[in-house]
A and B are shown apart, each in its own frame.
Chain A
Amino acid sequence: MKKKKEKEEMPTKKGSWPVQILMTFVAILYLFPLFVIVNYSFKTKKELYLESPLALPKSLNLDNYRAAFDKLNMGVTFLNTVLYTAVSVFVLAILCGVTAWAIARCKRKFFKFCYVYFIVGILIPYQALFLPIYIIGYKLNLTNTRYGIIFMYIATGISFGVFLMTSFMNTVPIELEESARIDGCSVYRTYFSIVLPLLKPAMATLIIMQAFQIWNDYLLASLYVSRNQLKTLTVSISSLFSAQSSDYTTAMAAIVISVLPIAILFMSLQKYFIKGMTVGAVKG
């Protein structure tokens, strides 16, 4: 850990100009579609039809944003999405942490089995299971409720979370835990006071990855919460992509609104996130 820090502070290599220029070009290519989204979101319908798609709008008119708020009932859908994402991610962070820790620390066969069992979940295309997923949800009174969709996000997100956290557990020194236990700490207390603080980078990775998946989820949300009062942003935006849609300037404005919060979350947690990713990449 310490060595890496030194490395960051004193870059040993000097970048060459061709690489710098090439990457600038690549970055511009990558940002171009995002620019197109933003550009479209300010255009009026007439500008859209009569002028080149590359032309900038004549004025920064916010009509599309207003229309997006109105049409998609954004006040409600936005809050819904925030709520589902925040609660699911919070519970996932707690749950994946303790599950992975138990799996990593208890050497019994049952826990080995649990690990494999969870990992299999990463491979299950829940997209193809939507009707049974709905039937289960219905039998448990989970459909068309807020806690139901949160339950499903936890169920589908836990596999990856456990996988990530388990790989990270190897980096947590076991000696600290042992001495805590000798001092009489319970298993739970050990976890929350000793282990959890060390998991910060992994948690950040988990939070970002799950947050942007849940925030962007389309299929589960359209299965469980399609009532107007319960809808999420992605589901309501998708209605603007439908067959006879003519309204794609509004769609673009809605896209901007939906991407911003998750982009901000990423920017603010970026530092931890990247640290967390190192662990997965290096330790496997």
Chain B
Amino acid sequence: MKKKLLCTCMAAAMAVSSFGCLTMTAAAEEEPVTLTVLAGQSTTDAGIEDMIDEALAEAYPNITLEWECVDWGNDFQPKMQQYMQSGLPDIMIGKAQDVATYAPQGILAEIGSEYLDAGLDAARENVTIDGKTYGLVYNALYQGVYYNKAMFEENGWEIPTTQDELQAIIDDCNEKGITPFASHMVDTWSIGNVTMQFMMNDVFNNDPTWGDKFRAGEVSFSDSEEAQTAYNYNKLIYDNTYEDTFSLEQTDCDARMVLGEAAMKVSGSWSIQNFLDIDENFDFGIFPFPNQTGDSKLIFEPNITIMTSASTEHQDAVNKVLEVLTTNKDLAVEIYDYTKTASMLKDVTPTFANPSQEDIDKYAADGMIVDVTLGNNQLVWGGFQEENAKDIAAWLQGDATFEDALAASDGRVDASSAG
């Protein structure tokens, strides 16, 4: 009797578990094509999948996207590693620097020029390898020093273009009891991020192939004055930021800045959402962190980048998705407004209020803009920049010497490139 009961239970349990699978296959049969999509997202991107689904359903109701949204920083690379063992999803959404990581493995397909032509030329360069473009760059982030406009006006501070000018503002801040820089070094990624910003303007600006030379053994962190300058700016920030920066999280850090406790923050567009969440009237601008030569450029980072599998069985459907993404301008604007990012499509402009847009336009008009993918491709994030940031943190905390940090970065030369 008992046994029978158990058997029934067991069967029921199995039925339940297979029921889940059955409904899935049934759905797939109704629709002619289901494409798998791996999306490596930042939190600010989460939610765009629904917008894309909706637009796609209108244009091509026969195509269904099976989404797999993961955190780009933590999970995108592990997932890609897994899929390289088992076969890639049809579409992958990552960052521009992923192209340099995965395209050399021969697993990405070229993107058709009809889709690429809808995008800005500026985005293409760093996702192109040997003349073939493997990524469609959809939007971009800007990185630099965000500053409190009202505070700058009140105190009569001008936008600094040299280190001396910046130092003057810092001194004035300290005198007036204002924290010069907001920062949240508890997030090691933020240290890595600002270090690359510094490297872009003090190292890559003068020597666009510094990373390749580093691998060739021609330059090193221990010998390069410029690289050391870039590392040293971290100290400048650390000496002029909140005392509890190693315990302070981004949201609290941004909140304090909005409330007027700090004047500037070296950051990127992802902070905009935070700023406006706390106070929709907060007025801020952006300028590039001044370098030694006084010719810093504002940094832009191609963000959402669409890649496709070289071995997909549904190339037509994949192309239709690309078509929707590149031609549906309402969708594009919706996504840019939602993520508070800049457009990388021709003739599409987001409509959200971005107080820093004025500054961005100014730098763009002067040609003072540089794509950080240049640096990220030569010195990769995972395994190199990310690890260096940990050494920098240890140095700032006094657990390692500056020389240790430099030597550790040099010792990691083999991990500096994905190839």
A residues apposed to B, CB below 8 Å = 45-46, 48-50, 71, 83, 86-87, 90-91, 94, 130-131, 134-135, 138, 143, 145-147, 150, 188-189, 192-193, 196-197, 222-223, 226-229, 238-240, 242-248
Closest B residue to A91 by CB, please name it: B13
A150 engages B17 (CB within 8 Å): yes
A226–B79 contact, CB under 8 A?
Answer: yes
Q: Which chain A residue shows the least CB distance to B36? A: A227
Determine if A244 and B44 form an interchain contact, defined as CB atoms under 8 angstroms apart.
Answer: yes
Residues B46 and A71 in contact, CB atoms below 8 Å apart: yes
Q: Which of B43, B68, B78, B82 sits near A242, CB closer than 8 Å?
A: B43
Task: Judge whether B85 and A138 touch: CB under 8 Å.
Answer: yes
Residue of B nearest to A86 (CB): B13
The answer to whether the Cβ of B16 comes within 8 Å of any Cβ in the partner chain is yes
Query: Which chain B residue shows the least CB distance to A239?
Result: B71
Q: B171: CB under 8 A from chain A?
A: no
**In the assembled complex, how far is the CB of residue A133 from the closest CB belonging to chain B, in whole angstroms?**
10
Tell me which of B100-108, B213-221, B272-280 binds A: B272-280
Residue pair B10, A244 in contact (C-beta under 8 Å): no
> In the complex, A238 Cα to B255 Cα: how many Å?
23
Question: Once the chains bind, are A87 and B189 in contact (CB under 8 Å)?
Answer: no
A162 CB to closest chain B CB (Å) equals 19
Q: Which residue of chain B lies nearest to A90 when distances are taken between CB atoms in the complex?
A: B13
Q: Which residues of A are found within 8 Å of B17, using beta-carbon distances?
A: 83, 87, 146-147, 150
B292 interface residue, CB < 8 Å from A?
no
Q: Indicate which residue in B13, B74, B258 contacts A87 across the interface (CB closer than 8 Å).
A: B13
Check B75–A226 contact: CB distance below 8 A.
Answer: yes
Assess the A227–B68 pair: CB atoms within 8 A: yes
> For residue B47, which residue of chain A has the nearest CB?
A71
Asked whether, in the complex, the Cβ of A147 is within 8 Å of the Cβ of B68, the reply is no
Q: Would you call A246 and B13 a contact (CB within 8 A)?
A: no
Tally chain B residues at the interface, Cβ within 8 Å.
Answer: 48
Residues of chain B with a CB closer than 8 A to A243's CB:
42-43, 71, 73-74, 187, 189
B interface list, Cβ under 8 A from A: 2-3, 6, 9-10, 13, 16-18, 20-21, 24, 36, 42-44, 46-47, 49, 66-71, 73-75, 78-79, 81-82, 85-86, 187, 189, 250-252, 254-255, 258-259, 270, 273-274, 277-278
A244–B43 touching, CB < 8 Å: yes
Are the CB atoms of B251 and A246 closer together than 8 Å?
yes
- Say yes or no: A229 contacts B24, CB within 8 Å: yes
Of the A-B pairs whose beta carbons lie under 8 Å apart in the complex, a sample of 12, sorted by A's number, is A87-B13, A146-B21, A197-B2, A222-B70, A240-B43, A242-B71, A243-B42, A243-B43, A243-B74, A244-B250, A245-B251, A247-B43
* Interface-centre pick from B67, B69, B81 (highest chain A CB count, 10 A): B69
Shortest C-beta distance, A253 to chain B (Å), equals 16
Which residues in B have their C-beta under 8 angstroms from that of A246?
43, 250-251, 254, 273-274, 277
**B-side contacts of A45, CB under 8 Å:** 277-278
Contact status A83-B273, CB under 8 Å: no
Taking CB as reference atom, which chain B residue is nearest A228?
B67
Taking CB atoms, residues of chain B closer than 8 Å to A196 are 2
In the bound assembly, the distance between CA atoms of A94 and B86 in angstroms comes to 33
With both beta carbons as reference points, the residue of chain A lying nearest to B39 in the complex is identified as: A228
B270, closest chain A residue (CB): A244
Residues in B with CB closer than 8 Å to A239 are 43, 46, 69-71
Contacts of A145 in B (CB 8 A): 21
Is the pair A242, B2 in contact by a Cβ cutoff of 8 Å?
no
Minimum distance in angstroms from B277 CB to a CB of chain A = 6
Complex CA gap A273/B174 in Å reads 60
Q: Which residues of A contact B20 (CB under 8 A)?
A: 83, 146
Question: Is there contact, CB below 8 Å, between B74 and A189?
Answer: no
Q: Closest Cβ of chain A: how far from B215's Cβ, in Å?
A: 26
Name the residue of chain B whose CB is nearest to the CB of A145.
Answer: B21
Task: Please give me the 8 A-B residue pairs with the lowest Cβ-Cβ distance, nearest first.
Answer: A49-B255, A242-B71, A138-B86, A245-B43, A243-B73, A228-B67, A227-B68, A244-B270
The distance from the CB of B288 to the nearest CB of chain A, in whole angstroms, is 21
| Docked-complex contact B67 and A242, CB < 8 angstroms | no
Partner of B81, one of A50, A71, A131, A227: A131
A83–chain B nearest beta-carbon distance, Å: 7
Question: Contact partner of B42 among A86, A147, A242, CB < 8 A?
Answer: A242
A49 vs B251: C-alpha distance when bound (angstroms):
8
- Least CB distance from B409 to A in Å reads 21
**Chain B residue with the shortest CB-CB distance to A226:** B68
Docked CA distance A222–B71 (Å): 11
Q: In the complex, given contacts A244-B270, A246-B273, what are 18 additional A-B residue pairs having Cβ atoms less than 8 angstroms apart?
A: A45-B277, A45-B278, A83-B16, A87-B13, A90-B9, A94-B6, A135-B86, A138-B85, A143-B86, A192-B3, A193-B3, A222-B70, A222-B75, A228-B69, A243-B43, A243-B74, A244-B44, A245-B251
